Amino acid sequence: MSAPTAAAEITTDSLLPWDDTGRPWIGGRFTEAAGPTVDDHAPATGERLARVQLAAAEDVDAAVAAARAAQPAWAALSIRERAERMEALADRILATVDRIGRLDSRDTGSPLTPMTNGARKGALYLKQIAGAALELQGRTIPASARGWHVTRREPWGVIGAITAYNHPTLYSCQKSGPALIAGNTIVIKPSEQAPLSTLLFASLTEDLLPPGVLNVVPGHAEAGAALVAHRDVTRVSFTGSVATGLQIQRTIADSGRIKSLQLELGGKNPIVVFADADPAEAADATVRGMNFMRVQGQSCGSTSRLIVHRELRDAVTEEILTRVDKIRIGLPEAEGTQMGSLISPVHRDRVLGFVEAGKADGGELLAGGGAPADPALAGGAFVSPTVFAGVQLGHTLAQEEVFGPVLSIMTFTEDADAIELANATEYGLTASVWTRDIDRALRAADAIEAGYVWVNDVETRYTGVPFGGFKQSGIGSEQSLLDDLEQCTRTKAVNIAVR
């Protein structure tokens, strides 16, 4: 049973930066909008958390206009000054981190500690990228005998950022840090499924960023589409599903404007365990990489396909089941909870649909596959950690991203087959490889089509190392500081004749 905690006494109203209704943050303040007012719910309990007025297309217009008006003066500050403001914002986040983490935990259903850590990680990222600001440099190119040929890094102007629901505050930091330090202004559209902390984040910029430099427009797909299509938005940075990524490409084409585009999309990521790996270590890595704990599998980087050598299959599977059995699923703020609720009942049903497809395809359900028995969790969108064995290449679970706590186990005999299986999806985001043989490890790292590969490691994202997808998993990368800054600029070449 999940014990209720003192957390229940901390009202959500006391965490919110408004009295009655959340509204778009435009031009440095919460602004009355034209969109409808909706209730925002906690997926773990179904309880109403807040009322939020959504941005209609005209509010998106107003936000872009504010961002456009603010951009020249913001870009005219020195990069050092802009970086200092973002460092100060990081300090404000750190001073508020418990409140932000709790709000994110309630809004997403994920456990309190990882959500608080995510907000802290976002703040530290802002500090790190602020420290890297002066590395955003042009080049001097010896292209002619006497002339000077130099490149300058100039901002795009207004960046439109659209985010997924799983790590709201981390994304607010990752989208705004490089954009603003490079001299752009920004309009962020958070996920309609967890918009609260992005509005709190915006309110922390009051008196720190000039009005219009950072704007937030809560809303559904229509608000996102209006932002993407807006003629004054010159770069779009998107984190979400492949389907929405494709739709954004269409919207951009239909807008008749050429735009810079970053897409951080989904994954169906392999963890390959070769015959010489240690079964217990591989099982640990599989459970950790699957992100059952922390976000209930709702991470783009989750290694949701275990591809294990036939000889190790039974040992690794047994170790995985022992570990999965011990995962403590509970209310997000309850003491000791390791795994919380999915983002919504709709998503829970979608995940359970994948479980049905897994069974219908002939996979063997070894654990989970439904809601936990604890009656305290009956009001939420909980799904127990789920493990399928006997998954074959043609099965739905071998191909489609579940974005939930469902692990699929596949087997191989020859190394070459493992690589073929690893590459046999449309996705190419992360991959993890387990072996004690350095040649085997390097051959696999070379052959696997993914943007982020771990060898004898899994799950951790290292700040400074670019995280981005191959194939359908996206274009561009994030988290690498200098690359992030560079992607938020365009290059101007200046050729100076010396007479």
Residues annotated as part of the active site: 264
Among 241, 392, 399, 423, interactor with ligand NAD by CB under 6 A: 241
Q: Does an H or E element contain 331, and which?
A: none
Residue type, 96: T
Among 31, 108, 191, 384, interactor with ligand NAD by CB under 6 A: 191
- Of the candidates 420, 456, 423, 413, which has an alpha carbon nearest to the alpha carbon of residue 277? 456
| DSSP conformational letter for 296 | T
Among 43, 178, 266, 380, interactor with ligand NAD by CB under 6 A: 266
Read off the tokens for 29: 């303040």
Q: How far apart are CA 421 and CA 417, in angstroms?
A: 6
Among 100, 216, 248, 329, interactor with ligand NAD by CB under 6 A: 248
Among 65, 132, 162, 448, interactor with ligand NAD by CB under 6 A: 162
Read off the tokens for 301: 């980087």
Which ranges constitute the DSSP H helices of 290-409?
292-295, 313-326, 345-360, 396-399
Q: Please enumerate in sequence order all residues whose Cβ is within 8 A of that of 107, keeping only pairs 6 or more positions apart, or say none.
A: 40, 42, 49, 168, 194, 195, 196, 197
Given the rule CB under 6 A, which of 53-61, 186-194, 203-211, 406-414 is the region that contacts ligand NAD?
Answer: 186-194
Cβ atoms of residues 151 and 493 within 8 Å? yes
Compute the least distance from the CB of residue 244 to ligand NAD, in Å: 3
Is the CB of 60 or the CB of 70 nearer to ligand NAD? 60
Given the rule CB under 6 A, which of 7-15, 137-145, 240-248, 318-326 is the region that contacts ligand NAD?
Answer: 240-248
DSSP per residue over 217-283, as a string? ----HHHHHHHHH-TTEEEEEEES-HHHHHHHHHHHHHHT---EEEEE-----EEEE-TTS-HHHHH
Is the CB of 224 or the CB of 372 nearer to ligand NAD? 224
Interface positions, 320-349, toward ligand NAD (CB under 6 A): none
Please report whether residue 216 would count as binding ligand NAD according to CB under 6 A: no
Q: What x/- string results for residues 460 through 479 when contact with ligand NAD is judged by CB under 6 A?
A: ---------x----x-----
Q: What x/- string results for residues 121 through 160 when contact with ligand NAD is judged by CB under 6 A?
A: ----------------------------------------
Describe the chain by its helix, strand, coil percentages, rounded to 5.
40, 20, 40
Among 70, 100, 180, 228, interactor with ligand NAD by CB under 6 A: 228
Please report whether residue 221 would count as binding ligand NAD according to CB under 6 A: yes
Compute the least distance from the CB of residue 343 to ligand NAD, in Å: 7
Q: How far apart are CA 334 and CA 384, in angstroms?
A: 17
Q: What x/- string results for residues 399 through 438 when contact with ligand NAD is judged by CB under 6 A?
A: --x-x-------------------------x---------
Cβ atoms of residues 168 and 107 within 8 Å? yes
Is the CB of 61 or the CB of 401 nearer to ligand NAD? 401
Chain length of the chain: 499
Interface positions, 29-58, toward ligand NAD (CB under 6 A): none
Interface positions, 277-306, toward ligand NAD (CB under 6 A): 300
**Given the DSSP bridges, would you call strands 427-428 and 470-471 parallel, antiparallel or unpaired?**
antiparallel
Crossing angle for the helix pair 79-95 and 112-131, to the nearest 10 degrees: 160
Compute the least distance from the CB of residue 15 to ligand NAD, in Å: 21
Cβ atoms of residues 316 and 286 within 8 Å? yes
Given the rule CB under 6 A, which of 47-55, 135-143, 179-187, 216-224 is the region that contacts ligand NAD?
Answer: 216-224
Please report whether residue 192 would count as binding ligand NAD according to CB under 6 A: yes
Is the CB of 197 or the CB of 317 nearer to ligand NAD? 197
Interacting residue ranges for ligand NAD, rule: CB under 6 A: 162-166, 189, 191-192, 220-221, 224-225, 228, 239-241, 244, 247-248, 251, 264-267, 300, 401, 403, 429, 469, 474
